[in-house]
Amino acid sequence: MTVDGHILALSGGVGGAKLALGLGTILSPQRLTIVANTGDDFEYLGLHISPDVDSLLYALAGVNNHDTGWGRDAESWTFMTELERLGIDSWFRLGDRDLAVHVYRTHCLRSGRTLSEATRDLTRKFGVASRIVPMTDDRISTLVETADGRLPFQDYFVRFRCQPAIKGILFDNSSASRPSDAFSQALEDPRLSGVVICPSNPYLSIDPILSIPGVPDAIRSRGVPVVAVTPIVRGRSIKGPTAKIMAELGVTVSPLSVAEHYGSLINGFVLDTLDEPIAAAIAELGLAVTVTDTIMQTSGDRQALAFGAVELLGRLSEDGYGTPAPRKRHERT
């Protein structure tokens, strides 16, 4: 990989945003495009909420809330308190500061602008140099099938706190969607030198991106290396309900399952040091494996993991991985 090669990162919310932030600190802004899952987007009190775009925006702007793990720093809650006082449905927590983004974005969308345009505008206003790009400007809605019926993602995730057991996951309207222009451009950019799948929930955060028709083929056809960073460490999710969902879907809660899930799309895998014993099993899938610390608590952790992922991309490029012909050797049957 050349030092001016471009990196495309696929990310969900908070967990992925940590690595995206790490990538943002080690790569010059024009080299990094972060594609955000928008399957979790929903309307709440008429406001368009893009949870993963916002997690990325706040993390990269350095204004995310470290205490809660979501939302804005220095937040206040007067608006929600008033909604509650009035007996207005207030299951989704919108801080007063956070609300500025939701009101502004909704205003942009109602004025006929796209989510991509609104996001570009917001990243600029927040002083974020790297590109944060919604996966699509079409509406894709992640729905989860549970014992209690089909639920919109935010109902499952926030209102019911991931309690219902998941039997299946759907990406409504996905088949009619197209990648956003900026996502397409990043996929087609001749300078693209690698793809990083962030340590987000593979089923709920990355699969919606890959469900957009043509996206997996576009990634494969570029012949650049693709590495996934594990969201699972020692059988537990670093963040969120990934492990719980894997168990409910009947999948062994292991990085190996994640690697198998991504299958022939990836050429490399970043595994946590604590899971080193299964490195060989992952290599058996035909993947180059980097073993390193993947739990990101400090900015140093985030940078180190970002370096690890980019270094693996570079190693794969040098080895000829990621060019269409040799890659075939590693495809699973």
Question: Can residue 113 be called a binding residue for its own copies (CB under 8 A)?
Answer: no
Question: Can residue 176 be called a binding residue for its own copies (CB under 8 A)?
Answer: no
Question: Can residue 125 be called a binding residue for its own copies (CB under 8 A)?
Answer: yes
Q: For 184, which DSSP code?
A: H
Stretches 18-26, 121-129, 165-173, 291-299: which one binds its own copies (CB under 8 A)? 121-129
The contacts of residue 311 (CB under 8 Å, 6+ apart) are: 290
Contact 11, 200 (CB under 8 A): yes
Name the residue type at position 265: L
Distance in angstroms (rounded) separating the CA atoms of residues 177 and 220? 19
- Judged by beta carbon, residue 93 or residue 110, the one nearer its own copies is 110
Distance in angstroms (rounded) separating the CA atoms of residues 324 and 192? 14
Question: Can residue 47 be called a binding residue for its own copies (CB under 8 A)?
Answer: yes
Distance in angstroms (rounded) separating the CA atoms of residues 197 and 34? 10
- Judged by beta carbon, residue 55 or residue 242, the one nearer its own copies is 55
The contacts of residue 46 (CB under 8 Å, 6+ apart) are: 106
Terminal Cα-to-Cα distance of the chain (whole angstroms): 28
Distance in angstroms (rounded) separating the CA atoms of residues 86 and 89? 9
Question: Can residue 26 be called a binding residue for its own copies (CB under 8 A)?
Answer: no
Stretches 50-58, 88-96, 112-120, 131-139: which one binds its own copies (CB under 8 A)? 88-96
User: How is residue 153 written in tokens?
Assistant: 């993602």
Stretches 2-10, 22-30, 119-127, 163-171: which one binds its own copies (CB under 8 A)? 119-127
- Judged by beta carbon, residue 104 or residue 160, the one nearer its own copies is 104
- Judged by beta carbon, residue 123 or residue 303, the one nearer its own copies is 123
Place of tokens 């993963």: 52
The contacts of residue 283 (CB under 8 Å, 6+ apart) are: 289
Question: Can residue 68 be called a binding residue for its own copies (CB under 8 A)?
Answer: no
Judged by CB under 8 A, the number of residues near its own copies is: 27
Stretches 9-17, 86-94, 169-177, 322-330: which one binds its own copies (CB under 8 A)? 86-94
Name the residue type at position 155: D
Pairing, β 166-172 against β 6-11: unpaired
Applying CB under 8 A, among 50, 106, 292, 303 the residue interacting with its own copies is: 106
Stretches 18-26, 74-82, 149-157, 260-268: which one binds its own copies (CB under 8 A)? 74-82
Closest to 260 measured CA to CA, from 294, 292, 215, 230: 230
Give the rounded distance of the alpha carbon of 137 from its chain centre.
Answer: 16
Applying CB under 8 A, among 30, 93, 100, 273 the residue interacting with its own copies is: 100
- Judged by beta carbon, residue 96 or residue 319, the one nearer its own copies is 96
User: How is residue 99 written in tokens?
Assistant: 């609300």
Place of tokens 């699973």: 332
Name the residue type at position 198: C
- Judged by beta carbon, residue 76 or residue 175, the one nearer its own copies is 76
10 Å Cβ neighbour count for 138? 17
Question: Can residue 160 be called a binding residue for its own copies (CB under 8 A)?
Answer: no
* Least distance from its own copies to the Cβ atom of residue 50, Å: 16
* Least distance from its own copies to the Cβ atom of residue 71, Å: 12
* Least distance from its own copies to the Cβ atom of residue 89, Å: 10
Question: Can residue 82 be called a binding residue for its own copies (CB under 8 A)?
Answer: yes
Contact positions vs its own copies (CB under 8 A): 45-47, 75-76, 78-79, 81-83, 86-88, 95-97, 99-100, 103-104, 106-107, 110-111, 122, 125-126
